[in-house]
Structure 1
Amino acid sequence: MTATRRELTIRLAGPRGFCAGVDRAILIVEKALEKFGAPVYVRHEIVHNRFVVESLQEKGAVFVEELDEAPIDRPIVFSAHGVPKSVPADAEARQMIYVDATCPLVSKVHREVERHHKAGHIVVLIGHAGHPEVIGTMGQVPDGSIVLVETVDDVAKLNLPDNMPLAYATQTTLSVDDTAAIVDALRARYPHIAGPKREDICYATTNRQAAVRALAAESDAVLVIGAPNSSNSRRLVEVARVAGCPKATLVQRASEIDWAWLDGVRNLGVSAGASAPEILVDEVIEACRARFDVTVGEIIVAEEDVEFKLPRLLAS
């Protein structure tokens, strides 16, 4: 007689997974391959997800970290995270064909930083040191005209004259709550600091965090599908824990799930970072079905219909 399998209710976060900027970046690489043929080079991972990167490699994309790793007679695509101004300048000097897949919402932050610099402001950037988006944003203006803070404590350590014109900007993939605390600390210390009309955290990050917050309230555990180097994916785990579900973890694929971790879990919340494709969510559900009697539902907090245009070079 077959043993009765334990019941498991999976609630999916809505929205989850790919955002418009990621969709656009992947499509740019695919369109470049169609237009120019393989190989097409890509500077840095186009988005932070190994499944996506390996899928594009199979189609003829070659990923490199710096321009000098790519031949000058092949096109190169810049990743969705954005690049310092020096990178397209170098590509032009080498007479390379390049396509910029920077997310338009990241480009918006770049323009804000440039505008503040031209107005004579020192810019305080809220973000994570070493993240490609932060490197790209800081590279929009000369050294010394932008400073990075990662925490509220960093704000206390700033050594900027009180009468210096200041402005702030934020990395797009941060935790909404953490960033709000840092912005509050900046405004308390420098009441004259200028900033965007609303924080630069993108709609997709905000929506995915809101969905996970709702999910955490009804889950015994939360599983976030995403890469360990994906800022927005790691933030979703943090959001789940802060929202009352301490049993939250990040996996890249179903094969990484520690099934003993699910002992005693009856309600499992599942989300995916903005660079994780839906096929990986399906893979997790099927892996659960192989072990449990699964019921699947969804908690939807927002609908998304954002689309970004392709660069002119690939639009036709």
Structure 2
Amino acid sequence: MTELTRGYLYGFGAYVCWGFFPLYIKLLRPAGPVEILAHRVVWSVVFVSLVLAALRNWGFLRRLADRPRLVAGIAVAAALLTVNWGTYIYGVNSDRVVETALGYFINPLVVVLFGVAVFRERLRAAQWVALGLGGLAVVVLTVDYGRPPYLALVLAFSFAGYGLAKKRLALPAAEGLFVESTLIAVPALGYLGWLAATGRDTFGHGTGTHTALLVLAGAVTAIPLLMFAGAANRLPMTGLGMLQYLAPILQLGCGVLVFHEPMPPARLAGFALVWLALIVFTIDGLRTGRRRSRAATLARATATEPAAAAR
């Protein structure tokens, strides 16, 4: 098996896991969103600790001790990740899976917007068209919902911000997730302790299956992230970009087909505008990638001609 094939398998596995994640969250009832979030954080630390122990890879902690600015950056990433996880769990538990799927459809467009705002990147005409269609979709969905689709927007902007922070930190997946989860594990443990002290926790008080599912939240969180890291290290950005639409498609299917959430014509029109924006965005990205690849090949061929002539 080639590294490219292995990368596609890792990426497919990661996005399929994320796509069916609403089904898992629904199984965690009657635990509330904040309790689920706290367990997800705490058990993520435990699971990733076991992975790092197996790999005997703890040296990065000594390096972090001498880099307080890096730790501050990780804290920002951890805060954004907490907002994203908490919003997503709340959306699923409040029967708004369709709206959470919208957030991850919008996310690539928000990433482009961040490129303009943060890195002063210049957009091509097709990218401006895609952003315009995305903005129009938000307007249409605002009219349909009677309010802005704020859950979708929070998910899109928090995950794009998390991606931006991770890009600047450049930490491996397991190490990064361990430090991020550890930073937010203290308040998470405090909240779980308060629930236990007041008799409001569901951990250990329901069925054994419910308790086991809460413990497994760490593995369910970490495994797709580790697979995603394996895919990102092996795939070109175009391949990874095409795979990223798999998760929200599956989430939308869960919302409409499994949980029977409504999809009136106006809402469908809003989603159609988002899909059109993503089609424009993807086609432009593929064309640009091919042009750059041809230009790079031509440049290499041109550079080798004088050397060949000299021989």
TM range (shorter): under 0.3
Is the strand fraction higher in 1 or 2?
1
Q: TM-score, normalised by structure 2?
A: 0.21
Q: TM-score, normalised by structure 1?
A: 0.21
User: Which one has more relative contact order, counting CA pairs under 8 Å at least 6 apart?
Assistant: 2
